Structure 1
Amino acid sequence: MGDTARRGNYESGSDYVLEYGELRFTFNERDFVERVEQAAIKLGFVDGPLGAAEREDLVELAVNGEVSAPRSELGEHINERWDEICGQPDHSLVHWLRRLVFRGAWLDQRVLEGELDVVFDERTLTFAYAQPDRGGALVELAPEPSWRSVAYRR
């Protein structure tokens, strides 16, 4: 019973909380900010590391679903292209940022609990997740959409 209650509840701090069903993931500020920035890079919305004000705007978008008072050109870009970026709730950039942050934490938790191993995939020259109880079969992650058409360019 103890494993069931613990399973899936990733925790690195208490600054940010993401909940999905019965799963509750809590993050310290640095962990959350880094995960949001990496999600934006993976989605093609930004092309690399951001400045402090840009990260603040991106995190505000992920947390609040909007950038109320932009602190950077990134925040202004989000508001100027709002309909293209966040028009449909389940297909918006906000949705995908949250989803990738959640997915990454979920995978990390599975690694910590020994359910997944991190392996180097020679075929794609990337790291992947393998299931030790299934002969090392790689986990196939659902593809994410690209936001390159509305990407923020410095």
Structure 2
Amino acid sequence: MDSSFRGNYDSGEDFVLEYGDLRFTFAERDFAERCEQAAVRLGFVHDRLDPSEVDDLVNLAVNGEVAEPLSNLGAHVNDCWTELSGPAERSLVHWLRRLVFRGAWLDQRVKEGELDVRFDEVEQRFEYVQPARDDEPVELAPAPSWFTVAYVPVDERR
């Protein structure tokens, strides 16, 4: 087997993300969980979402908009659209897709033995490490924050 070949991530056939020669396919649940995790990492949401909120978030990531909101999250996206859209490489949609893709790419590298995952006791978080480089941590590019326009569910507003 050619060790330079990198496989495509595959957890199902419900959603597809492509970049260059890579084609990642996702099961609905996997994609939804990755979208939610990306939104948390970006500071756009702070906690678990209810199913209709997740549906709106997935709709945003897939279609680039929430044409018919199912939840307050979808309505919030539309209310804050000017702050969320911005230039393509700075939009929330771009970063949701980027983090979903990046997470799947890293997980595929773990599956293929190029990376491992370990728990950093000091930082209290999991990190990817490179076994071929004495478990050197993988430095991920920083992601912007959407904290200033974060979605806060109605029952959590003060």
TM range (shorter): over 0.9
Q: Percent identity?
A: 64
Secondary structure of 1:141 counterpart = coil
| Gapped regions of structure 2 (runs ≥ 5) | 154-158
TM-score under structure 2 length normalisation: 0.93
Residue 114 of structure 2 is matched in structure 1 by 115
1:114 to 1:40, Cα distance in 2 relative to 1, 3 A: same
| Gapped regions of structure 1 (runs ≥ 5) | none
Residue 102 of structure 1 is matched in structure 2 by 101
C-alpha distance in 2, partners of 1:83/1:57?
Answer: 17
Secondary structure of 2:104 counterpart = helix
**Mapping for residues 69-108 of structure 1, pairs under 5 Å:** 69-108=68-107
Residue 63 of structure 1 is matched in structure 2 by 62
CA deviation string 1:44-64 (max 9, x = no partner): 101111111111111000000
C-alpha distance in 1, partners of 2:126/2:133?
Answer: 18
Residue 31 of structure 1 is matched in structure 2 by 30
Instruction: State the one-letter code of the partner of 1:153.
Output: V
Instruction: State the one-letter code of the partner of 2:11.
Output: S
C-alpha distance in 2, partners of 1:96/1:114?
Answer: 27
Which portions of structure 1, spanning 4 or more consecutive aligned residues, are displaced by more than 2 angstroms?
A: 1-5
CA deviation string 1:83-104 (max 9, x = no partner): 1011221100000100010010
C-alpha distance in 2, partners of 1:95/1:103?
Answer: 12
User: Does residue 152 of the first structure (1) align with residue 151 of the second (2)?
Assistant: yes
Instruction: State the one-letter code of the partner of 2:99.
Output: L
| 1:3 CA drift (Å) | 5.2
TM-score under structure 1 length normalisation: 0.95
